[in-house]
Amino acid sequence: MALIVQKFGGTSVGSVERIQAVAEKVKAFCNKGNQVVVVVSAMSGETNRLVSLATEIDDQASAREMDVLLTTGEQVTIALLSMALEKTGIPARSYTGGQVRVLTDDVHGKARIREIDHEKIKADLDSGRVVVVAGFQGVNEKGDITTLGRGGSDTSAVALAAVLKADECQIFTDVDGVYTTDPRVEEKARRMSRITFEEMLEMASLGSKVLQIRSVEFAGKYNVPLRVLSSFKDGPGTLISVEEGDEMERPVISGVAFTRDEAKVIVRGVPDIPGAAYKILGPIGEANIEVDMIVQNIGEDKTTDFTFTVHRNEFSKAQNILRDIAKELGAKEVIGDTDIAKVSLVGVGMRSHAGIASQMFGALAADGINIQMIGTSEIKISVVIDEKYLELAVRSLHAAFELDKPPTK
């Protein structure tokens, strides 16, 4: 007998018929002798609908009241799903976050879970019930309702799986797993059967369409095996777990992630003196602007071009901050480019394989793609290129590393 936490997202519970289909799925699982805790989101579109109702009254409505409002969406689905389960003959009981004391901090709209009282859930499971818990919500020390941030039901499910020491946390959604790259860019993209927590975090740009990335961090921290599956189509999905040595079919490269969300800022002609990098990035950090890649190199004239990337939304802000600073520093000018894209090759196998970077650069060169910046971590190599070559770059790397073929060991 296994204990499984199953989470169903908004589209999976988007109508009464779909809720009934979820009940059938859960029932089949229970009938195999498993204990099941179900976490659900609000019906698709419901949270947005509630947000717009509030905005009609006040677009600066208090975060406390927003949380009271938004959590009603999940309260509807837990009740309907429990009714549907009971109707099929499966004893079930629904609970709001507060009822199972998903205790969080005080940050309304972005709360973090501190602990969960799992006694009640355990008792229900032991008496043969399915427990249906509202995702996305908790309660603070004062008893006020809190929410975990948009998409937070994934994190609720992982947190419950962690405290219950569940065998697996299954996230049912509208795609059937995590792919080697975005299938809209490369139709040969393949569903991965396994991937490590670390890789999934490095592939956030692909993964975040499937799961709230915070839930992956949480799952990694508490070592909860996480499986992404389709609600609409049977299949094994993608298992996200720790690296398991030899057992794991381990390709060197797992996937190609990319983002168009970044922009490049260049401070040209910076004097090569101690403290210059700090003078440039200090104020950027103080303005809460996140910096991703950084490159600097000394030219013959003993000055450097200091280049870094930021989120595109913060590009103008970063440039404005730097205009005066560049003058003070005696730098030549601040220029920038928003027509860039970042493409990353991700794989834990990189740790034990040499020559991945050169193979990557070779594949890009063969397609005439110029590399503007390079950044690396232990399991990732990223390049910044001209945005117009993004799709070509993704396809050329996908082919060069044979990601369309299932890994063989």
**Residues 199 to 228: which contact ligand ASP by CB under 6 A?**
none
% helix, strand, coil for the chain, step of 5: 40, 25, 35
Tokens coding 393: 């770059």
Nearer to ligand ASP, 171 or 252 (CB): 171
- For 23, the 3-state DSSP assignment is helix
> Toward Mg ion, which CB reaches closer, 9 or 207?
9
Q: Which of these ranges, 150-158, 248-256, 294-302, 395-403, lies near ligand ASP under the rule CB under 6 A?
A: 150-158
Question: Which window, 53-61, 126-134, 148-156, 255-263, contacts ligand ASP (CB under 6 A)?
Answer: 148-156
Residue span 151-180 as binding mask against ligand ASP, x where in contact by CB under 6 A, dash where not = xxx---------------------------
> Under the criterion CB under 6 A, does residue 96 sit at the interface with ligand ASP?
no
Q: Which of 14, 135, 138, 407 contacts ligand ASP by CB under 6 A?
A: 135
The one-character DSSP state at 370 is: P
Provide the minimum distance between the beta carbon of 363 and Mg ion in the complex, in angstroms, as a whole number: 34
Closest approach, Cβ 148 to ligand ASP, in A, equals 8
Output the smallest distance, CB 74 to ligand ASP, in A.
6
Locate all alpha helices (DSSP H) within 276-314, ordered by sequence: 276-286
Specify the stretch interacting with ligand ASP by CB under 6 A; choose among 17-25, 147-155, 203-211, 305-313.
147-155
Distances in Å between the Cα of 70 and the Cα atoms of 47, 49, 82, 85, 389 are 6, 9, 20, 24, 41
> How far is residue 248's CA from residue 241's CA, in Å, rounded to a whole number?
10
> Minimal distance in Å, beta carbon 18 to ligand ASP?
14
DSSP string, 234-268: -S--EEEE---GGGS---S--EEEEES-EEEEEEE
3-state secondary structure of 104: strand
Smallest separation (angstroms) from ligand ASP to the CB of 149:
8
Residue 74 near residue 9, CB atoms below 8 Å: no
150 binds, among Mg ion, ligand ASP, none (CB under 5 to 8 A by kind): ligand ASP
Q: Which partner, Mg ion, ligand ASP, none, binds residue 136 by CB below 5 to 8 Å per kind?
A: ligand ASP
Among Mg ion, ligand ASP, none, what does residue 152 contact (CB within 5–8 Å per kind)? ligand ASP
What H or E segment, with its residue span, contains residue 308?
A: strand 303-311
| Cβ at position 79, least distance to ligand ASP in Å | 15
Altogether, the residues listed in the chain come to a count of: 409
* Nearest-approach distance from CB 365 to ligand ASP, in angstroms: 42
Assess 73 for contact with ligand ASP (CB under 6 A): yes
Q: Is 322 left (phi over 0), alpha (psi -120 to 50) or beta?
A: alpha
In whole angstroms, the minimum distance from the beta carbon of 35 to ligand ASP comes to 23
- Taking CB under 6 A as the criterion, the residue among 5, 8, 10, 331 binding ligand ASP is 10
Q: Is the dihedral of CA 243, 246, 247, 249 positive or negative?
A: positive
47 in contact with ligand ASP (CB under 6 A): yes
- Strand locations in 28-154 (E): 35-40, 92-95, 102-104, 113-116, 130-134, 137-139, 145-147
In the complex, the residues that contact Mg ion under the rule CB under 5 A are 9, 151
Spatial neighbors of 385 by CB under 8 A, at least 6 apart, are: 340, 341, 342, 343, 364, 369, 370, 371, 372, 393
Q: Are 160 and 218 in contact (CB under 8 A)?
A: no
Q: Does 43 bind ligand ASP (CB under 6 A)?
A: no
- Using CB under 6 A as the binding rule, whether residue 104 contacts ligand ASP is answered as no
Task: Enumerate binding residues for ligand ASP (CB under 6 A).
Answer: 9-10, 41-42, 47, 73, 135-136, 150-153
